[in-house]
Structure 1
Amino acid sequence: MGRDTSSTEVNKTGTVPTFRKHGAGEKSGALNMARNNPQVCPYNLYAEQLSGSAFTCPRSTNKRSWLYRILPSVSHKPFEPIDQGHVTHDWDEVGPDPNQLRWKPFDIPKTSQKKVDFVSGLHTLCGAGDMKSNNGLAIHIFLCNSSMEDRCFYNSDGDFLIVPQKGKLLIYTEFGKMLLQPNEICVIQRGMRFSIDVFEETRGYILEVYGVHFELPDLGPIGANGLANPRDFLIPVAWYEDRQVPGGYTVINKYQGKLFACKQSVSPFNAVAWHGNYTPYKYNLENFMVINAVAFDHADPSIFTVLTAKSLRPGVAIADFVIFPPRWGVANKTFRPPYYHRNCMSEFMGLIKGHYEAKQGGFLPGGGSLHSAMTPHGPDADCFEKASKAQLAPERIADGTMAFMFESSLSLAVTKWGLKTCNCLDENYYKCWEPLRSHFTPNSRNPTGPK
């Protein structure tokens, strides 16, 4: 029996998923247990706990889920090293480069040339830190054209925040199925097994963080509502398959930055029921409640933070996921596009769709840019001239667009693939600022705008 590709089901976060089999709707008593780990589970299932935090973490941050399985996940052959492909955590492959970097849309392999699934299509672009000490992050690009057939993946090093840019992803997890489309994101947390079906040539971005989990940012004076609201995050409904795999099912594990694989005789998606607070989840970026300046000046991009992975320093993140959605611009006496800037943080930007307002050309969907710590960046010359002369009436910004930023307090190293072999690096990026000219008027302090 092949794997079921029927439609996915999701619950609002915080609810207990019901019992599902291949998308059917019958309920079960699989969760009606006197305790998490009974002597004999209903339906003679195995109880297995997946812990995403130390047992002794405070209750508010303790993450764990109980899964009730046909066979426990320990039923597999030994792991063996496999080809790394373009996945790396060697941040010294090439020397550092402080320049502004921009990539054209990353090339997706053609199905007619070679079948590439999600795992074999992973390419590490940049990163910093060390997964052995549970501190750091990596940014990956995925470029694939085929589904993972009797293969699944799990990450022992950290959490994956997946941002599809082209093509739908049908994601099978131990907790159920999720259908993910461009302009949605999902988080697959550390240790969770998943497999991905695709339906066409597919591309997207991944932010991986080590040792911490993504959470909603604190709202402070914004109050109880705003930005990404908890009720808009969705989790899978329990789903399982009781399937023998004659040729063996391949389980791929990323451990200490290396890839390993093992075989097992059954599908890993055999959890009949589960409960807990350590789950995969998805979010539609259209549900983001934008907060913006309504009088004057330009608010910092931190007001657009969807999820954050905190460091041990208060107010400083290992990584933030920030979006720039459609919104109104109404500020008076203000240069409205993003201002010229140097930052102690590293800023990687990607574009899901549309046209980013601070760049008149060259920054395209499926591409990206990296502005490293203290490297200056900002609007190109054409954007500056137009914004300086614009009539400041209320205007819609970024309609039909969704740009995002992975921002980190760490100084990111770019991989050899990102600098040398991806063949997408835009060598002429710096030229977008060359037309900038001085408008200095030493004899008149009254601003008139560029001539």
Structure 2
Amino acid sequence: MPGTKFATPDPYEYLAGFNSYHETEAIKGALPEGQNSPQKPAYGLYAEKLSGTAFTAPRAENKQSWLYRILPSVKHSNFAPLDDGTYHTRLKTETETLHHIPNQLRWDPFDFDETVDWVHGLHLVAGAGDPTMKSGLGVLLYAAGKSMGNEAFYSADGDFLIVPQHGVLDIQTELGKLIVRPNEIAVIPRGVKYRVTLPAGPVRGYICELYQGHFQLPELGPIGSNGLANPRDFQCPVASFDDEPEPKEYRIISKFNNSLFVATQDHTPFDVVAWHGNYYPFKYDLGRFNTIGTISFDHPDPSIFTVLTGPSAVPGTAIADFVIFPPRWLVAEDTFRPPYFHRNCMSEFMGLISGDYDAKVGGGFQPGGASLHNVMSAHGPDETSFEKASNAELKPQKVGEGSLAFMFESSLMLGVSEWGLKTCKKVQENYNAESWGGFKRHFKNPKNSN
């Protein structure tokens, strides 16, 4: 059966389908019939609408869910800056000090941090745009070793596309629970509250936060009606709630314009007994991706590996594409098979979840590390990969066994944060020279043959 075999079992149930309209209730009869906001919802619940788009967005793009909860979300104190030392200003500062440089960048594996929880383990690595204008994206690293306690986190800035590299995330959201492991991804939409616990110890991974719109499946065009990520393989949670009759203090942490704020409330935020709609968190097993490739000649563009896309107003041009390079067969005849040398009007941020990437050998690109080839920055296979591929016997070959690399590709020029460029101390200063400095001239000018 296609899919990834996980060491950690998944104890939760899910509903299947991407962008499907779902309804789920943890107690039978909690969902109203034939209307959304009855005068008196069943069981004394409160009806609350969660909107992911403007009310007047076209029907095909409109995202909303109706939640039926024990107490309304509005019952909390005023928000104030999160006063954890200087942490409440760090994300904002990282955004304001972006460095826009044309150099190719590569990072050693980012450090684990077992002293912090999910919220305090977030670091902005690169980004472009402005969440206040709902434009652009942010690329973040997370590294944490502690579970969150009586608190919930949400981002008002954008949708979190979470790519685990190490460790297991047990994510309790308002709408239900998700287990997310390496080789899986999760998307938590803007505004959805959640808590992350760590059942298997420290975690590390990557996040693409989409400030603009929402992630969707790419168009398939001439591929047809099936292939790449199929809608049926996406999973969203069933309704699950905590019932705490006695008051208990919870903290609600908001990421708002890349600053963190906190409020308190005397009741659990995870009290949604039932919900219906098409705005919800979801996860996807990358092992179910149906890879498409050439069966004749030439290396196809990496767009054929797109799992999810965050489109811009320009057709075919993404604010963020999420692209993977999974195990696959190469059969192209008379073809240089690794990715070709390239200069791109898009920015390419790559990470490695496991194994070795076939276009970079020698240990410089490692799981938990990353690279950035910004707008029009030349890149391609390193010298060793080039020589090996140029002289390889061209027979059917399975590449990437035990490996999974990914890319956040954006039409925007990405600035690198002070943390990503200097503070984390992971930038490989000799990346360019070590990868491409040894290329030699092979050109033989026929005019000089005599």
Per the shorter chain, which TM-score range? over 0.9
User: Residue 19 of structure 1 aligns with which residue?
Assistant: 25
After superposition, the C-alpha distances for 1:1-41 in whole angstroms (9 at most, x for unaligned) are xxxxx932211123645433xxxxxx511114231000000
* Match of residue 286 from structure 2: 285
* CA shift for structure 1 position 211: 2.6
In structure 1, what is the equivalent of residue 72 of structure 2?
Answer: 72
Structure-1 residue corresponding to 2:177: 177
* Counterpart for residue 3 of structure 1: none
* Offset at residue 203 of structure 1 (A): 0.1
Please state whether the residue corresponding to 1:53 is helix, strand or coil.
Answer: coil
Q: Does 1:250 align with 2:254?
A: no
In the aligned structure 2, how far is the partner of 1:86 from the partner of 1:283?
A: 31
Q: Quote how far apart the aligned CAs of 1:247 are.
A: 5.8
1:29 and 1:246, CA in 2 relative to 1: closer, same or farther beyond 3 A?
closer
2:7 corresponds to which residue? Answer: none
Match of 1:108 among 96, 112, 131: 112
Listed as ranges, the matches of 1:43-58 within 5 Å are 43-58=43-58
Aligned-residue identity in percent: 54
| Length-normalised TM-score, structure 2 | 0.93
Distance 1:220 1:127, change over 3 A: same
Contact 2:89–2:259 (8 Å) recurs in 1: no
For residue 61 of structure 1, give the secondary structure of its aligned residue in structure 2: coil
Deviation of the 1:258 alpha carbon: 1.2
Does 265-274 or 28-37 show the bigger shift? 28-37
Instruction: Give the alignment partner of residue 443 of structure 2, picking from 427, 440, 445.
Output: 440
Q: CA RMSD in A?
A: 1.8
Deviation at 1:243, TM superposition (A): 2.1
Deviations 1:165-187 (Å, cap 9, x if unpaired)?
A: 00000000011000000000010
Match of 2:12 in 1: 8
Amino acid at match of 2:310: A
Q: What CA distance in whole angstroms lies between the structure 2 residues aligned with 1:245 and 1:294? A: 64
Q: Does 1:268 align with 2:269?
A: yes
In structure 2, the partner of 1:370 is 372
Q: 1:152 and 1:264 mapped to 2: Cα distance?
A: 11
Q: CA deviation at 1:90?
A: 5.1
Matched-pair contact (CA < 8 Å) for 1:89–1:127: no
Task: Indicate conservation of the 8 Å contact 2:212/2:310, yes or no.
Answer: no
Q: Which residue of 1 aligns with 2:3?
A: none
**CA deviation profile, 1:71-112 (whole Å, cap 9, x unmatched):** 0000100000113264237545154321110001100024xx
Residues 303-352 of structure 1, C-alpha deviation per residue, up to 9 Å, x if partnerless?
00000001011111100000001110000010000010000000000001
Aligned position for 2:131: 131
Q: Following TM superposition, by how much is the alpha carbon of 1:63 offset from its aligned partner in structure 2, in angstroms?
A: 0.4
- Measured in 2, the distance between the counterparts of 1:11 and 1:50 equals 19
Could you say which residue in structure 1 is the equivalent of 2:5?
none
Instruction: Give the whole-Å Cα distance in 1 for the aligned partners of 2:402 and 2:63.
Output: 37
The reply to whether residue 379 of structure 1 matches residue 381 of structure 2 is yes
**Where in structure 2 are the equivalents of 1:231-380 lying within 5 Å?**
231-243=232-244, 248-360=249-361, 361-380=363-382
Match for residue 36 of structure 1? Answer: 36
The reply to whether residue 143 of structure 1 matches residue 143 of structure 2 is yes
Q: 1:89 to 1:335 in 2, by over 3 A?
A: farther
**How many residues were matched structurally?**
432
Which runs of 5 or more residues in structure 1 are unaligned?
1-5, 21-26, 446-451
1:11–1:17 CA contact under 8 A, matched in 2: no
Q: Distance in 2 between matches of 1:357 and 1:184?
A: 21
1-structure distance, mates of 2:194, 2:217: 23
Give the Cα–Cα distance (whole angstroms) in 2 for the partners of residues 208 and 89 of structure 1: 17
- In 2, the alpha carbon distance for the partners of 1:96 and 1:254 equals 24
Question: 4+ runs of 1 displaced by more than 4 Å?
Answer: 89-92, 244-247
Range that drifts further, 31-40 or 416-425: 31-40
Instruction: Give the TM-score normalised by structure 1.
Output: 0.93
Query: How far apart, CA to CA, are the structure 2 residues paired with 1:246 and 1:147?
Result: 22
Q: Matches of 2:257 and 2:423 in 1, distance apart?
A: 24
What residue number does 2:4 align with?
none
Aligned with 2:140: secondary structure?
strand
CA contact (8 A) 1:92 1:413 kept: no
CA contact (8 A) 2:108 2:427 kept: yes
- Assess if the C-alpha contact under 8 Å between 2:21 and 2:276 holds in 1: no
Gaps of 5+ in 2: 1-9
Instruction: Please tell me the residue identity of whatever aligns with 1:271.
Output: V
Contact 1:86 1:417 in 2 (8 A): no
Deviations 1:271-310 (A, max 9, x none): 0000000010000000101110110001000000000001
Task: Indicate how the Cα distance of structure 1 residues 207 and 245 shifts in structure 2: closer, same or farther if over 3 A, else same.
Answer: farther
Q: Which moved more, 1:433-442 or 1:270-279?
A: 433-442
Could you tell me how far 1:434 is from its partner in structure 2?
Answer: 1.3
Deviation at 1:244, TM superposition (A): 5.8
Quick one: which of 422, 425, 435 aligns to 2:424? 422
